[in-house]
Amino acid sequence: DVVLTQSPLSLPVTLGQPASISCRSSQGLVGSDGITYLHWFQQRPGQSPRRLIYKVSNRDSGVPDRFSGSGSGTDFTLKITRVEAEDVGVYYCMQATHWPPYTFGQGTKLEIK
């Protein structure tokens, strides 16, 4: 199974400051079709998860442009340019290249300092 390792697991950030979350895979995530199926999800307290980024760097509809995804191979990053109060929650990366099973990272908890 593909193991996704996120860091940090806890991320205290000052409002208006940038934030960055790393997701490292135990194996390369490029599919046989050349597409990398690495996605990012946000779960606000008490809510269902919501997808932010799909296939490494594509922002979902309605997601603020302060969120961006990048990376390739085994190393991927979610960046927030200026953290706002509504960004508090847990962020997960997920791979859908080598399945089954589809696997998630452990989650990174973002909080405001």
Partner 1 sequence: VQLVESGGGLVQPGGSLRLSCEASGFTFSNYWMHWVRQAPGKGLVWVSQINNDGSSTTYADSVRGRFTVSRDNAKNTLFLQMNSLRAEDTAMYYCLSDVDAAIGRDWGQGTLVTVSS
- Taking the complex as a whole, the smallest distance from the CB of residue 21 to partner 1 amounts, in Å, to 14
Using the minimum distance from each CB to partner 1, give the nearer residue, 64 or 99: 99
Cβ atoms 59, 67 nearer than 8 A? yes
Instruction: List all residues 6 or more positions away from 55 whose beta carbon is below 8 Å from its beta carbon.
Output: 35, 36, 37, 38, 39
- Least Å distance, CB 20 to partner 1, is 20
Per DSSP, the three-state class of 47 is coil
Sheet holding 4-7, edge to edge: 4-7, 19-25, 75-80, 67-72
- β-strand partners of 13: 112
- Closest approach of partner 1 to the CB of residue 96, in Å: 5
Based on CB atoms, which residue is closest to partner 1, 60 or 77?
60
Nearer to partner 1, 30 or 49 (CB): 49
Which of 16, 62 has the CB closer to partner 1? Answer: 62
Question: Which residues here bind partner 1, judged by CB under 8 A?
Answer: 35, 37, 39, 41, 43, 48-51, 54-55, 58, 60, 90, 92, 94, 96, 99-107
- Closest contact distance (angstroms) between CB of 16 and partner 1 is 28
Q: What is the dihedral of CA 102, 67, 83, 11, to 10 degrees?
A: 30
